[in-house]
Amino acid sequence: MKKVYLFCSAGMSTSMLAANMQKAANDHKLPVQVRAFPFEIMEEIYEKERPDCILLGPQVRFLLEEIQKKYEPLGAVTATIDPADYGAVNGANVLRTAILLIKQKKA
């Protein structure tokens, strides 16, 4: 089971996006767990859950470099969520991006 976790400033739109991503994963019978959290608890969540992929909402994209330095050496892939997909709450596109990131890391 791959874990794709979304982090943002508040969590409302990101929770809806995570739900759409989980639905897309379930519809395609993919072994993926998608969850959303406020970025303030990222360290605590990472320690407990060890997600495979960390995606940042557009509001916190300025944290990407710091997050990459901290979590990529530990094995997580990190990226920002495309603002257009985020705004449209396009879970299928964001899930596709996360899966590609995870696959590229393995290659």
Sheet-wide strand order for 53-56:
32-38, 2-8, 53-56, 77-80
Query: What values do phi and psi take at 35, rounded to 5?
Result: -140, 160
Give the span between the Cα atoms of 97 and 17, in whole angstroms: 13
Single-letter amino acid code for the residue at 45? I
Is residue 53 annotated as a catalytic residue, yes or no?
A: no
Judge contact between 71 and 96, C-beta under 8 A: no
Q: Which of 4, 8, 21, 36 is catalytic?
A: 8
Which active-site residues does the annotation give?
8
